[in-house]
């Protein structure tokens, strides 16, 4: 298994998608960092974005990470789609399998190699993001930046990232077409998830609102809330009724939830998503011929 993984990692490092993704990650990290700096420094509405930046310095990042991760996961979709589908097209996968390599081991090695490379790119992007912001601001107080919360926050984010990678690799093996994989992969975090999560938050969908948990982006919000509230604190769960007050619609607080419970639920759902998508991907890969 280690030999197959090493070979796949070497191939992906030499692939054309790698350099493109690295440049996109670095470029967007810098762009996003300057957007955050501008938003924190500005008193302007910025189309409602000021609510996404509740503090200054590193503490301001937690609640705004969804936008950052949307672009990061799109890069993962591009990497998985181009690399896997190209190997279907040029016969590389057929040649590897003809040497007696197990399809299950081959699939897992692809998944792990995409995740490792994507994770390295993400770490680079996060370092650039935080470095830029901490240069621009004085880091928040120690009360704001609890180390345990910060570690849990990033552990949760990386687990969420693995759910996206496993989903995109599964798509690549299912579609075996770059266009279809990239189309669905890009639309999923920026359109499909937003649409379904928004619909499930409406009053008519209250009986099935729990289904929002299956979407990685929803769980990103849960990890963000834990980071902001503190693992020992409470997360405010807003009701679906709004009142008009002081020129704005204010959500009515319905209940509070334990930050730790919220974190554990999001982590469990994320792990289950990784397992399910991996099993489905391996099953379909084993059942279909490779031409």
Transcribe 256-282 into DSSP letters.
EEEHHHHHHHHHHHHHHHHHHHHHHHH
Which pLDDT band holds residue 27 (cuts at 50, 70, 90)?
A: confident
Place 73 in a pLDDT band, splitting at 50, 70 and 90. confident
Residue 47 Rama label (left phi>0; alpha psi -120 to 50; beta): left
Closest CA to 222 of 279, 270, 174: 270
The SS3 of residue 140 is coil
pLDDT band at 266 (very low <50, low <70, confident <90, very high): confident
CA angle 158/83/31 to nearest 5° reads 50
Q: What are phi and psi of 140, to 5 degrees?
A: -60, 175
Mean pLDDT of 44-53: 42
Nearest to 274 by CA among 152, 159, 197: 159
Residue 234's DSSP bridge partners are 258
Strands 234-245, 248-258: pairing kind: antiparallel
Query: Which residues face 256 on adjacent strands?
Result: 236
pTM here is 0.78
| Dist CA 281 CA 275 (whole Å) | 10
Overall average pLDDT of the 194-214 stretch: 82
| pLDDT band at 156; cut points 50, 70, 90 | confident
Q: Which of 248, 247, 270, 256 is nearest to 225 (CA)?
A: 256
The predicted model gives 284-288 an average pLDDT of 91
Q: What is the 3-state secondary structure (H, E, C) of 154-210?
A: HHHHHHHHHHHHHHHHHHHHHHCCHHHHHHHHHHHHHHHHHHHHHHHCCHHHHHHHH
Confidence of residue 139 (pLDDT cuts 50, 70, 90): very low
* Of residues 209 and 58, more confidently modeled: 209
Asked whether the predicted pLDDT for residue 129 surpasses 90, the reply is no
Confidence of residue 291 (pLDDT cuts 50, 70, 90): confident
- Cβ count within 10 A of residue 102: 13
Most confident range, picked from 123-127, 146-150, 255-259: 123-127
Counting every residue written for the chain, the total comes to 291
pLDDT at 252 > cutoff 80: no
Closest to 12 (Cα-Cα) out of 109, 100, 101, 136:
109
In sequence order, which residues have a C-beta less than 8 Å from that of residue 206 and are 6 or more positions away? Answer: 240
Strand partners, 244: 249
Q: CA 285, CA 170: separation in Å to the nearest integer?
A: 9
**Average pLDDT estimate for 77-105:** 87
The secondary structure element, H or E, covering residue 240 is strand 234-245
Average pLDDT over the chain reads 75
Per-residue pLDDT band for 190 (boundaries 50, 70, 90) equals confident
Cβ(240)–Cβ(202) under 8 Å? Answer: yes
């Amino acid at each position: 298994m280690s030999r197959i993984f090493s070979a796949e990692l070497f191939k992906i490092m030499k692939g054309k998608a790698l350099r493109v993704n690295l440049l996109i990650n670095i470029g967007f990290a810098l762009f996003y960092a300057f957007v955050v700096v501008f938003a924190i420094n500005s008193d302007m509405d910025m189309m409602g974005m000021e609510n996404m930046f509740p503090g200054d310095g590193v503490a301001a990042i937690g609640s705004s990470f969804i936008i950052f991760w949307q672009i990061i996961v799109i890069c993962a979709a591009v990497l998985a789609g181009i690399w896997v589908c190209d190997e279907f097209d040029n016969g590389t996968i057929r040649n590897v399998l003809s040497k007696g390599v197990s399809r299950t081991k081959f699939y897992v090695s692809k998944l792990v190699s995409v995740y490792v490379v994507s994770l390295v790119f993400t770490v680079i992007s996060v370092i650039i993001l935080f470095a830029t912001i901490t240069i621009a601001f004085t880091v928040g107080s120690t009360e704001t930046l609890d180390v345990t919360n910060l570690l849990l926050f990033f552990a949760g984010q990386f687990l969420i990232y693995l759910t996206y990678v496993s989903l995109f690799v599964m798509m690549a093996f299912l579609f075996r077409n770059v266009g279809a994989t990239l189309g669905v992969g890009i639309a999923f975090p920026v359109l499909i998830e937003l649409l379904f999560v928004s619909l499930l938050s409406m009053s008519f969908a209250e009986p099935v609102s729990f289904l929002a948990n299956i979407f990685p982006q929803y769980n990103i919000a849960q990890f963000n809330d834990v980071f902001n509230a503190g693992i020992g604190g409470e997360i405010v769960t807003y009701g679906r009724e709004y009142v008009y007050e002081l020129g704005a619609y204010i959500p009515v607080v319905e209940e509070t939830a334990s930050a730790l419970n919220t974190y554990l639920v999001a982590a469990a759902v994320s792990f289950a998503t990784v397992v399910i998508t991996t099993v489905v991907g391996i099953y379909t890969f084993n059942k279909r011929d490779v031409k």
